Amino acid sequence: MKKSVNVAVLVSGGGTNLQAIIDFSAEGRLESGKIVKVISSKAGVYALERAFDAEIPTAVVERKGKSQEEFEKGILLELEECNAEVIVLAGFMSILSKNFTDKYKDRIINVHPALIPSFCGEGYYGLRVHQAALDYGVKVTGATVHYVNEVADGGKIIMQRAVKVKENDTPESLQKRVMQEAEWKILPASLELVCKKLLKEN
């Protein structure tokens, strides 16, 4: 019986969520999955350093100057090369087409820094999400891990965790707390859940 599922992580920046998965794995808690490759849409980002330090193979498929089709083709080649079965979007700044997401149906997961269906969809990313939550005056926000389809933040929810909004919060302070208290906890836990489910099915 297969012991673990091959996981590829797609990144575009600093890689804090990637680090959370690396740490979770190093603690022996990612029992059903193994990170086999980190693919970045930009060269020189810190996420690649994190992968290098953890001895995980990396690849760069530049988004800039390519059509959506060319870009996705490049990623698919890298995924096929490492036999990736599950894909994690960890601060990956591109929306994937239906063509791409259909190929990996219920095998791509993403973390969003709000409680979907609030403050999500196209245009809601990074600090914009936290600014919107503060502008609206919500008392509770959080993070959501969901399956990825062609609709921005539109896939089925896997896990959510709530975080309290404080009186004096700024988008930056809220972002930091949502990462620490929610994103970094539920993304690795959700990955284990998805991998475990796939192992049972196979």
Question: Residue 37's beta-bridge partner residues?
Answer: 8
Active site residue 112: yes
Residue that has been written with the tokens 């095998």 in this structure: 107
Query: Which member of 112, 130, 146, 177 is catalytic?
Result: 112
On whether the CB atoms of residues 109 and 158 are closer than 8 A, the answer is yes
Cα 131 to Cα 18, 45, 120, 195: the distances in Å are 24, 25, 12, 33
β-pairing verdict for 140-147 and 108-112 = antiparallel
Catalytic residue numbers?
112
